[in-house]
Amino acid sequence: MRIAEFLAIAILMIALALGTHAPAFAAPSPDASSSPTMPQNWDYRIPLPAGAEPTDSSVPKIGVVYAANFALKGDYKELVDFYERELPKAGFVLGPKVAIPARKVYNRNFTEVGNLDSVVVSPDPKDPSKFIVHIAWTPNAGKPAAKAP
């Protein structure tokens, strides 16, 4: 059953990626530093580990699901523990989880006001010392967008 859940989530993530296009980072302000800015319609309530740097993002061609990738150095277990702890603190309800420590892959669905969002942690294929954190989210149409802290 675990393999079936993992495959279902992987198929969902691929479908989300195919239904979007990149890039979607907001234009930097004139006084912004050289670091990339946050993705368009980013929900600042979604926790990000210290050191997470945005690498790319996409906006929906159809539908409402946005996606972004962040790169960071870290430990697999610490990243999993971070999301298991911080998502509920941010007001999200945890949904299904798939974790494969041997492959250093983690996926957790989380919800708030009926929106189904997802975080996927996986090794960076170009740099084994880093991880990619992929987040898919739906901006809440019923509330104003969350602002940067």
For 76-140, the DSSP string reads HHHHHHHHHHHHHHTTPEEEEEEEEGGGTEEEEEEEETTEEEEEEEEE-SS-TTEEEEEEEE---
For 62-74, the DSSP string reads SSS-EEEEEEEE-
Q: How far apart are alpha carbons 118 and 68 in whole angstroms?
A: 11
Which residue in 67, 85, 74 sits closest to 50, CA to CA? 74
For 1-18, the DSSP string reads -HHHHHHHHHHHHHHHHH
Predicted local confidence at residue 113, as pLDDT: 80
The reported pTM is 0.73
Read off φ and ψ for residue 38, nearest 5 degrees.
-75, 155
Predicted local confidence at residue 93, as pLDDT: 96
List pLDDT tens digits, range 44-63: 999 999 999 999 999 998 88
User: Which of the two residues, 37 and 121, has the higher pLDDT score?
Assistant: 121
Q: How confident is the model at residue 132 (pLDDT cuts 50, 70, 90)?
A: very high
